[in-house]
Amino acid sequence: PYTIEGFNSQYGKTITELKSYDISEATLRAVYEIQVLREKLVDQLAKDTPHTEEQVWARHILLEDAGEAAAVRILLQRGEDFAELAKEKSKDTGSGAVGGDLGWFGKGAMVAEFEEAAFSQKVGEIGGIVQSEFGYHIIQVLDKKELPVTDSQYQQNRETTFNDWLTKTRETASVTTYDTVW
């Protein structure tokens, strides 16, 4: 824990070091003030940021071409084991090794086409073939729940809320710049 003497000593050293870079104490104080005000603004704007989000637990089989994907989907519709087909045929060797299991994920974690399909699919259903930049996916949603986000995800969501507000504010702001000649 800091003592007042320890703080004053460290503060003095910092001011001396900054002066060697031609940075004044007033500038340092202004930077700290802006940081405090920014954090207060983020707190206010993001006060309703949820600590949970809808997440999906899914598995998939990734295939090279549409014909192969159609053939595998027919096998699944006939009752073939999803996990075994994923191990055998999936181009995604990481998830394929565990039966295509991708675990839980929230929005923004997957490519748009995959995410849209997974979040719109019913639990247990073998979805249609979804094309993405990686190939052709056959997705099965195992569960959907509202789950807690990690601390870093929560902080990122707060920053996103602030940045979205800032962008919108800048777009709607009316700024006039006057050229001056001395």
**pTM for the whole structure:** 0.68
CA 108 – CA 118 distance, rounded (Å): 12
pLDDT band at 108 (very low <50, low <70, confident <90, very high): confident
> What average pLDDT does the segment 23-29 reach?
93
pLDDT in tens, 72-100: 999 999 999 999 999 999 999 999 999 99
- Give per-residue pLDDT as tens, 143-165: 999 999 999 989 999 999 999 99
Q: How would you label 48-75 residue by residue, b for 16+ Cβ within 10 Å and e otherwise?
A: ebeeebebbbbbbbbbeeeebbeebbeb
Please, what sign has the CA dihedral across residues 21, 24, 30, 33? Answer: positive
- What does the block give as tokens for 153? 């995800």
Q: What are phi and psi of 53, to 5 degrees?
A: -150, 155
The alpha-carbon radius of gyration of the chain (Å, integer) is: 26
Percentage above 70 pLDDT, the chain: 98
pLDDT at 102 (0 to 100): 97
Whether 35 shows a pLDDT value over 70: the answer reads: yes
